[in-house]
Amino acid sequence: MTDSKRRFAALLDQPNVSEHCELRGTRLGFMAYHGGQLEKVTDVIAAEVAERTGSSYYGVIQGNDDEAIHLPSRIVDPTESETLAAFVEHIDAVVTLHGFGRKRLWHALLLGGQNRQLADHVARHLRRRLPDYDVIDDTAALPHGLAGMHKANPVNLPTAAGVQIELPPTVRWNRKGRHWSDLGPMGRAPQVQALIDGLVEATDTWVRSPR
């Protein structure tokens, strides 16, 4: 791609790309701006958790697997999207869902982002719900490119910043039916349901807790 095309606005102008946003009452939001056919199932998880908890949701859905474009998070710029800007303005903190694949981390969930108090809170709930996975929230153990610490990363733009959750394929894949969870005839993978339930619990207790 040329530099002019490696812009968020240019991606949003593509015919197979759509923005989705729901602004709700709680001040915690969920994002999946690499959703659809790019980092599969991330938007499904973010949207359902947001709906179940009354939280705000922002997603970018790419509908064509062969033409899916991955932009670095720091390029996902609210100055190029009024919808994203309204979302960031509406919330205090955010949880973003991403997909990644590294063989040495095939069964690891990585919790980056600058809000480390929220990361610790979410990690405790996910460890209980997903005991077969390694939930890593120690910033020293996070791969540099997946730590979500860049100041321009959308996870860090709200007032209280947020948590970037990187999900390996083993979480998002339905092993029984050999397809992505929620996208094939076997429906939802049990670990995806456990992940969603853990995020719902973490959200509900975070929103209710005094700070």
Judge whether residue 177 has pLDDT over 70: no
CA–CA distances in Å: residue 51 to residues 48, 54, 63:
5, 5, 22
Classify domain 8-205 at the CATH class level.
alpha beta
Residue 84 has pLDDT above 90, yes or no: yes
208 has a pLDDT exceeding 80: no
Query: Does residue 75 have a pLDDT over 90?
Result: yes
Rounded distance between C-alpha atoms, residue 20 and residue 60, angstroms: 6
Q: To the nearest whole percent, how much of the chain has pLDDT over 90?
A: 83
Phi first, then psi, for residue 100 (nearest 5°) are -150, 165
Q: Answer whether residue 1 shows pLDDT above 50.
A: no
In this predicted model, what pLDDT tens digit does every residue of 9-57 receive, in sequence order? Answer: 999 999 999 999 999 988 899 999 999 999 999 999 999 999 999 999 9
Q: What is the pTM of this model?
A: 0.94
- Pick from 185, 142, 175, 155: nearest CA to 30: 155
Q: What pLDDT shows up at residue 26?
A: 83
pLDDT at 184: 78
Q: Exposed, middle or buried: residue 30 (CB in 10 Å: 0-12, 13-18, 19+)?
A: buried
